[in-house]
Amino acid sequence: METYKLRVNGEAKEVTVDPGTPLLWVLREDLKMTGTKYGCGIAACGACTVHLGGVATRSCVVPVSLVGDRPIVTIEGIGEDPVGRAVQKAWVSEDVVQCGYCQSGQIMSAVALLKSAPKPTESNIEESMGGNLCRCATYVRIREAIKIAAQQMS
């Protein structure tokens, strides 16, 4: 067991856990922040996507010991960010969600996309969102919502 100081959504947190524990499970079980989801545990579905040091990251494969001093932003905090807010708003206005389980990860990936490409092309979208699985397959509306968020940002 080791103690780690983390910065999550701007707040200082401290956890004492096994160093190999993935960040996902530290968030969900130690910090009780369950908005970040477990879908596969092998970085194949993107449900666990968070921003680590500003980069969209699959938290299920990042041991907490490797987080270091990089700030963590999760779905619970992304609404504080103007891009995050625009994406969440577009997701609601386009009625994107069905079961909704993957959407935390979809939104975190979409925010990262719009931060790097404010006017994304279809291929930008497919590249950035290409690792986020949605079993309800809400992909058509995800594309639309990203475009609407981009319009509203510009």
Partner 1 sequence: MAAATQIANDLHLSRRGFLRVSATAAGGLLVSLYLDLPLAAQEGAATKAKVYPPDAFVHIKPDGKIIIQVNRLEFGQGVQTSLPMILADEMDADWSQVVAELAPAADVYRDPVYGIQMVGGSGSIAHSFQQYRELGARTRAMLVAAAAQKWNVAPEQCRTESSVVHGPGGQSAKYAELADAASHLPVPETVTLKTAAEFRLIGKGTRRLDSSPKCDGSMKFGLDLDLPGMKIAVVARPPVFGASPKSFDDKAARSVPGVVDVFEIPVGGKGRGVAVIADKFWTAKQARDRLRIDWDFSGVERADSSQLREKYKTLAETPGNVAVARGDDKAIDGVSASNRILAEYEFPYLAHTPMEPLNTTIRFDGDHAEVWAGSQFQTFDGAAIAQVLGLKPEQVTFHTEMAGGGFGRRAVPDSHVQREAAAIAKHFTGTPVKLVWPREDDVRGGYYRPMHAHRVEIGIGADGMPVAWRHVVVGQSIMAGTPFAAFTVKDGVDETAVEGIIDTHYDLPNFHLSAHHPAVNVPVLWFRSVGHTHTAFVMETLIDELAVRANADPIAYRRKLLKPDAKKLHRALDLMEQKSASWRAKLPAGHAVGIACHESFETGVACAVDVSIENNRPKIHRVTVAVDAGIAVNPLTIESQFQGGVSFGVSQLMAKGAITLKDGYVEQSNFDTYTPPYIMDAPTAVDVHIVPSSEKPSGCGEPPVPVISPAVANALSRLTGKRYRNLPLVEV
Instruction: Give the contacts of 118 (CB within 8 A, at least 6 positions apart).
Output: 150, 153, 154
Rounded CA gap, 105 and 58, in Å? 9
Binding of residue 31 to partner 1 (CB under 8 A):
no
List 2, 53, 68, 136, residue binding partner 1 (CB under 8 A): 136
Query: Is 34 one of the binding residues for partner 1 (CB under 8 A)?
Result: yes
Residue 137 binding partner 1, by CB under 8 A: yes
Continuous segment of H or E residues that includes residue 116: helix 103-116
Q: Which of 111, 59, 65 is nearest to 90 (CA)?
A: 111
Structure token digits, residue 96: 């994107």
95-114 mask for partner 1 (x: CB under 8 A)? xxxxxxxxxx--x-------
| Beta carbons of 13 and 26 less than 8 angstroms apart | no
Report, in Å, the least distance between residue 151 CB and partner 1: 18
The burial class, CB within 10 Å (0-12 / 13-18 / 19+), for 22 is buried
Could you tell me the smallest distance in angstroms from the CB atom of residue 72 to partner 1?
13
- Choosing from 22, 48, 67, 111, the residue that interacts with partner 1 (CB under 8 A) is 22
**Binding footprint of partner 1 on the chain (CB under 8 A):** 1, 18, 20-22, 25, 28-30, 32-42, 44-45, 47, 74-76, 79, 88, 91-93, 95-104, 107, 122, 125-126, 129-143
